[in-house]
Amino acid sequence: MKSQARIVIVGGGIMGVALLYHLAEEGCSDILLIEKGELTCGSTWHAAGQCPSLVGNYNLAKIHNYSNWLYPRLEELTGQNVSWHASGGIRLALTQNDLDWFHFMKGIADNVGFRMEIIDAKKIKRINPFISTDGVIAGAWTLDDGHADPSGLTNAMARGATNMGASIQRHDRVTNIEAMPSGEWKVITENRSVIAETVVNAAGCYARQLAQMIGRDLPIVNMQHQYVVTGPIQEFVERNEEIPVIRDPRASSYLRQEQKSGLVGIYEQANMAEAWAPNGFPPWESDSELFPDNLERLMPWLGYAMERMPLFEDAGIKRIVNGAIPHSSDGFPLLGPVAGLKNFWLCCGSSFGIAQGAGCGKYLAQWMLHGDSEINMTGFDPRRFGSYADDSYMQAKGFQDYRMTYFPPLPGEELPAGRPRRLTPLHDKLNAQGCVHTEAFGWERPKWFSLDGRKEDYSFRRNNTFDVVRDECFAVRERVGILDLTGFAKYDVTGPDAESYLNRICANRMPKKPGGIALAHVLSRGGRIGGEMTITRLADDQFYVLSAAAAELRDLDHLTQGRAADEQLEIVNVTDDRGVLVLAGPRSREVLAKITDEKLDDASFRWLSGKEICVAGMPARALRLNYVGELGWELHPAMEHMEAIYDALWQAGEESGIANFGLYAVNSLRLEKAYRGWGAELTNEVTMLDAAMERFIKLDKDNFVGKDATMQQKQAKRIFQLVYFEIEVTDSDVRGGEPIFIGDDCIGVTTSGGYGHFVRKSLGFGYVDPANCEAGTELGIDVLGERCRAIVLKEPAYDPANERLRA
Ligand SMILES: Cc1cc2nc3c(=O)[nH]c(=O)nc-3n(C[C@H](O)[C@H](O)[C@H](O)COP(=O)(O)OP(=O)(O)OC[C@H]3O[C@@H](n4cnc5c(N)ncnc54)[C@H](O)[C@@H]3O)c2cc1C
């Protein structure tokens, strides 16, 4: 067995093996996978093997779609039987919201490339004559998915990987992992040790234990999940065709044919669900283990399932499988680097590992070997969780995720489990004013203000927050608005080499003079967008760096990991030390002037500059910028001064009509200004050139990460280009993931959108074939099943000359 390998993967379930296969396929064969038992002996072997196409997330849908593309081909590629059943699936809609979700997903299907039809109850009955369609208003019929034997799939990929030169060591448990002074990892097993440049944790239900070996934890709960198999069903025996997998929200279950029997898996609701090893740490000796079955727990959902397929009830239950599934805190897999460590990756936390395995393996392998994946991995990056995700958080979220398997959250829906985590000093005060909070990286952030006590009527369509958000937007555009945006990630970068270092890791140039502000992007070696930061030079050797709340750990890695040993600088994460208040609107200057002696006129405090000032007797970093496109300041005081400064601003602003606003309003206001969003328009899939952000790249700098690739991209033909558009819609706006057409040709995809209340236009962004990006081009965009006319805009719908910002 190897004592040295470029990459060691720990865990031989479908996730680890799929990664092994795809790393080898990408050309890296110096890889060793170590498995404590037989391949698949964890969660994989007993899985029901379904591989649905329909998932409510554009990037996850790409992962599923790739798996569904690969699995039917695996046997031919590797010679190993995988028992692929191309049964397709039908998900049932019981409510209008379910149906709207189908229309939203149909847009994603058209983009991603899997076949999907929305069908009525009659057609469902034609396809599956045994089903009861009581209460069913429609079905989402996906034709390219099915189910397979999970062990077959895993062993096929293992065979494919070893054929390409990868190695697998079975029956050898990893007992410890040590960081070596050389930067390599020492992976210690029961029988030997292996030195590796890179390690991947693919340990399924044991992923937390493995993380603890390197002093980390992961937000994963191992849920027990059961499916039942019925006795043989004569009607199936007499038929050649297989029924599609049925997914029924009422029964919270999947129902399908298992050979000539029936199979029903239930995601039990309320407080019935149970975790395996509730302290999170299963015993090492567990091997191909099933738990005692517990039918009680499945009631009444099993009953509802039998009502849906009465044939199943008649056949009686023959076998029950109860096994463990890892559930991450938000239901998405953990794919990417471990925060703060070099060359330690995660490929775990997948609750649909069979459906996701191949796709996760493919896109993670691209990221590991080439620095980028071809799909947007932001939502899967493990650094989306921080230390706030403690044991109680992961328990609450994991259970919630399990229960919600058949209830995808509606747009805007706030899920209560595990909250609140990170509160600003204004939390209670804003709550008392009707604030509805949303969660980002543990922070509770204002989303909108319910002034009359109304609750949001969650929907894919415009809802009862529409008018409230319009009023918040008008307050910002016509008077002055105030917003607590404390969740921003914040870092102090100081030292004699701070400027040269930041110039090396960012595409833009650092401001030359103290007080200057630059919007700067971190690029990958391949020139794709890794992060976006706002950097203020406070002194010759002092920079204040801000980035998105959700990017706190990601950007900390960007800031710290490129640093050379001899560079003199210090990087400190000060996110928890400072609060952020946004004061924006044409009357913001008169409000702030009442509580500071600092000169605020344009000549004394110009747009895109920042300095330390005194506000209501307290020091605060003041930056003249914002994301809403108005005259205004961001104030960054010490956290303990937040409340006093908010109170002073509120009091000073009463005459000027000050109003609270939230992130719904921010989305509307930033769209009017055509400001791009990190994670939506700016992702690892695209370059600054694709995103029409060339003005933030300084190619005349000596060097910066991604410069060579950017220079090459400038010469190359663009594959897609960002467009900003206005769209004619009825009662729903673009959300991102909608297909963009010219005639019948799908030429792009939207990335985000919303209603611009002040300009009275529905607006959005999307990436299209560059042949169709000229201003004035007419596009067709499918919004909830309706083809809507959109026009590419030349400039921001609001204040294109930035006059308001410079006022
Ligand atoms: C009843 C049931 C039905 C399911 N049905 C479906 C379905 O229809 N479709 C679907 O997509 N998903 C389904 N799942 C979920 C699916 O089984 C899991 O998501 C998937 O198997 C996870 O794969 P994994 O590789 O992450 O974990 P695992 O398969 O558990 O693999 C992890 C491996 O790591 C090994 N390991 C751990 N620690 C060490 C160590 N220290 N040293 C060496 N090796 C180690 C373990 O032995 C194990 O083999 C189902 C699950 C259950 C319980």
The tokens describing 178, both together, are 């040590």
Q: Determine the distance separating the centroid of ligand 1 and the alpha carbon of 384, expressed in angstroms.
A: 22
Q: Which of 157, 294, 325, 402 to mutate to test the pocket of ligand 1 (most atoms within 8 A of CB)?
A: 325
Whole-number Å distance between alpha carbons of 270 and 400: 9
Q: Is 262 within 8 Å of 315 (Cβ atoms)?
A: yes
**Residue-wise burial string across 29-39, b where 16 or more C-beta atoms lie within 10 A, e elsewhere:** bbbbbbbbbeb
Q: Determine the distance separating the centroid of ligand 1 and the alpha carbon of 86, expressed in angstroms.
A: 23
Task: With a cut of 80, say whether residue 270 has pLDDT above it.
Answer: no
Q: Is 6 within 8 Å of 196 (Cβ atoms)?
A: yes
The tokens describing 342, both together, are 């070099």
Q: Determine the distance separating the centroid of ligand 1 and the alpha carbon of 205, expressed in angstroms.
A: 7
- Specify the residue with its C-alpha closest to ligand 1, atom 25: 13
Q: Determine the distance separating the centroid of ligand 1 and the alpha carbon of 352, expressed in angstroms.
A: 9
- What's residue 671's pLDDT? 98
Q: Is 60 within 8 Å of 112 (Cβ atoms)?
A: no
Amino acid, single-letter form, for residue 653? G
Helix, strand or coil, per DSSP, at residue 792: strand
Q: Determine the distance separating the centroid of ligand 1 and the alpha carbon of 63, expressed in angstroms.
A: 17
Using a pLDDT cut of 70, give the percent of the chain over it.
Answer: 100
Average the pLDDT over 470-480 and give the result: 98
Task: With a cut of 90, say whether residue 695 has pLDDT above it.
Answer: yes
pLDDT digits (tens, 9 = 90+) for 516-534: 999 999 999 999 999 999 9
Which H helix or E strand runs over 446?
strand 443-449
Q: Whose CA is closest to 336, among 200, 522, 245?
A: 200
Task: With a cut of 90, say whether residue 624 has pLDDT above it.
Answer: yes
pLDDT digits (tens, 9 = 90+) for 369-407: 999 999 999 999 999 999 999 999 999 999 999 999 998
The tokens describing 15, both together, are 């996730």
Whole-number Å distance between alpha carbons of 485 and 472: 16
First to last CA, the chain: 70
Q: Determine the distance separating the centroid of ligand 1 and the alpha carbon of 308, expressed in angstroms.
A: 29
| Average pLDDT score over the chain | 97
Residues contacting 505, CB < 8 A, separation 6+: 522, 558, 559, 562, 704, 705
233-to-84, 258, 309 alpha-carbon distances in Å: 21, 10, 12
Whole-number Å distance between alpha carbons of 764 and 766: 7
Please list every protein residue whose CB sits less than 6 Å from any atom of ligand 1: 10-16, 34-37, 41-44, 46-50, 173-174, 202-206, 210, 225, 227, 265, 321, 323-325, 348, 350-355
- Specify the residue with its C-alpha closest to ligand 1, atom 27: 204
pLDDT digits (tens, 9 = 90+) for 109-158: 999 999 999 999 999 999 999 999 999 999 999 999 999 999 999 999 99
pLDDT digits (tens, 9 = 90+) for 33-71: 999 999 999 999 999 999 999 998 999 999 999 999 999
- Specify the residue with its C-alpha closest to ligand 1, atom 41: 174
Whole-number Å distance between alpha carbons of 690 and 769: 10
DSSP 137-178: -EEEEESS-EE--HHHHHHHHHHHHHHTT-EEE-S--EEEEE
pLDDT digits (tens, 9 = 90+) for 310-362: 999 999 999 999 999 999 999 999 999 999 999 999 999 999 999 999 999 99
Average the pLDDT over 13-42 and give the result: 98
Task: With a cut of 90, say whether residue 651 has pLDDT above it.
Answer: yes
Amino acid, single-letter form, for residue 350? S
Task: Please give, one letter per residue, the 3-state secondary structure of 233-249.
Answer: CHHHHCCCCCCCEEEEC
Q: Is 584 within 8 Å of 626 (Cβ atoms)?
A: yes
Amino acid, single-letter form, for residue 229? V
Residues contacting 56, CB < 8 A, separation 6+: 101, 104, 105, 408
DSSP 697-765: --TTSS--TTHHHHHHHHHSPPS-EEEEEEE--SS----S--EEEETTEEEEEEEEEEEETTTTEEEEE
